[in-house]
Structure 1
Amino acid sequence: MQRILFVCTGNTCRSPMAEAILKSKKIDGLEVKSAGIYAATGSEASAHAKQVLDSHHIEHNHSSTMLNMKSVQWADLILTMTGSHKNAILQQYPDAARKVFTLKEFTGEDYDVDVVDPFGGNLAIYQETYQELEKLITKAIEKM
């Protein structure tokens, strides 16, 4: 069983979408969760994130979770949405360095390492973020 943890800031937009996208691929032997560096525990995914997932017929049932030692230890691979998320994890959990990558770094993307944060944006921005995540996750699957 391989365990993948997606991490963003509040665990209401990017990481829950990434989690739902990867889960929708129904890959045997893969367990997927998400968390946020500064998440309030128990929040739903943002309305636009849920709407975009629904429009792509992707199941989701999300409750935000704050990143903690237990989730870091649980994960075999931690994929962050930005370089600053990666750095925050490395500062707090230096022993996890071998398994923490930005999603773009992991997939070999050599342009801007950050997945754009749609928080507070309109539905079109969430749709763009979804498309970016879908493309990156497809590439990540090939590397796992």
Structure 2
Amino acid sequence: MKRVVFVCTGNTCRSPMASALLCHLGNGAFDVQSAGISVRGKQDASFYAKSVLKEEGIELHHSSQQAHEELMQWADVILTMTEQHKQVLAYHFPDVEKRIHTLCEFVGEGPYDISDPFGGTVEMYRHTYDELKRLIQKMI
């Protein structure tokens, strides 16, 4: 079973949605976690992230976590939402640098960043969900 970690900024929007999507679409073939590069305490996923996933029949039970050494070592592949996230992780965890990719480049569509819906409308979250779903389906 492949171990995948998705990483974004605060671990409340994009990476939890990506994690839930891969678990849902991957039919148990992946062990998935998510983290952030700038997490402020344990937080639930954002309301709209959970709402958009629920519209698609996906339940999300989440508590944010900071990217840390043990998690990075655990992962077979670390997929970031942006090039900046990738660079920050490579700086802090140089021994796993070869396992760190943006999600877009990993599926052969880079380089571009996945839009951050944080603080935006439910429509922005739906757009991010659609983008993540398309990329994760391609990844699978």
**TM-score (ref. length: structure 1):** 0.94
Q: Report the secondary structure of 2:136's partner residue.
A: helix
Which whole-Å CA distance do the structure 1 matches of 2:80 and 2:30 have between them?
18
5+ residue gaps in structure 1?
none
Residue type of the partner of 1:102?
A: T
Report what 1:124 is aligned to.
123
Post-superposition shift, 1:46? 0.3
8 Å CA contact retained: 1:15, 1:34: yes
Report what 2:13 is aligned to.
13
5+ residue gaps in structure 2?
none
Deviations 1:86-109 (A, max 9, x none): 000000111111110000000111
Q: Percent identity?
A: 48
**TM-score (ref. length: structure 2):** 0.96
Residue correspondence of structure 1 range 1-144 to structure 2 within 5 A:
1-110=1-110, 112-141=111-140
Deviations 1:101-132 (A, max 9, x none): 0000001114x520000001000000000000
Residue type of the partner of 1:138?
A: Q
Q: Report the secondary structure of 1:78's partner residue.
A: strand
Structure-2 change in CA distance of 1:55 and 1:125 (3 Å): same
Q: How many residues align?
A: 140
